[in-house]
Amino acid sequence: MATLQDIRRKIGGVKKTQQITKAMNMVAAAKLRGAQIRMENFRPYAGKFLEVINNLSSRIDPEAFPLMAQRPVKKVELISLTADRGLCGSFNVNLINTGEKFIKARKQEQVETTLVPVGKKGAEYYKRRKYDVRSRYTDIFNSFDMVTAAGIGRDVIENFLAGGSDEVHILYGEFINMGVQRPKVLRLLPIAPLTQKGEEEQGLEYLYEPSVEGIFNDLLPRYINVQIYRGMLENAASEQAARMTAMDNATRNCKELITSLSLIYNKARQSAITKELMDIVGGAEALKK
């Protein structure tokens, strides 16, 4: 049976843990506000960019542009986003499990899969399990911008154009709300034109200046960079929301554990006092005899 000193030591350790989880919850809440603002401000831009690409690409020949050309799929590349740090509940696990399901599904289709992990947790996981990791990006979520996304985009585009992959997908945690963050897989390459046009769009005509080729050769790589950056923003906000929830639950569990240990401590203390009183009374009775 644990002594009073052991129980006091456990209570002290749990209180220190509670202070840490509470502080991490506050830090995550502060970071979440900034990440959420960046994400929400960028969403309309990314959505409008996608709309423009769809509207314009539906009126051209996709085969004329390498980033839109469809070809038999023998190799697929997955940009897998995770967090650089843990202590965010099941956030990283859900993303990694989704990535493994993606790889297994392609394997059943006799398609090779290469990985580009973005985030330390995913990079370490895939490396330990000997997956085909072509390149990796770690320790970037503390400070990243469009330049970071453009570097990743340039890497996957060059590999796609060189024939290293026939499709490129990105996996990230989509921010739904504070309590829900879902893994999402989005195809980046080849860029698929819009197949269905509304009645209003069918009557529109576009004038291209200086030329269709010049515009699309500039817009298509930008589109890849925009989608990667949006995925990074969504992933960063989802990570902080998941960490905030996890630390809030941990703080609540610490409070319950402290209450439980305090009850055990009080019962053990009362038992010790009762035992001491019984010894005193027994000694006094013995002296009377």
Quote the tokens at residue 98. 């989704």
Is residue 126 within 8 A of residue 80, CB to CB? The reply is yes
* Mode of pairing for the β-strands spanning 180-189 and 167-177: antiparallel
* N-terminal to C-terminal alpha carbon distance within the chain: 35
Please identify every residue annotated as catalytic. Answer: 88
Q: From 175, 235, 233, 243, select the one nearest 28 (Cα to Cα).
A: 243
Q: From 185, 190, 189, select the one nearest 103 (Cα to Cα).
A: 185
Q: Using the 8-state DSSP alphabet, how is residue 68 labeled?
A: T
**Torsion over CA of 68, 74, 75 and 80, rounded to 10 degrees?**
80
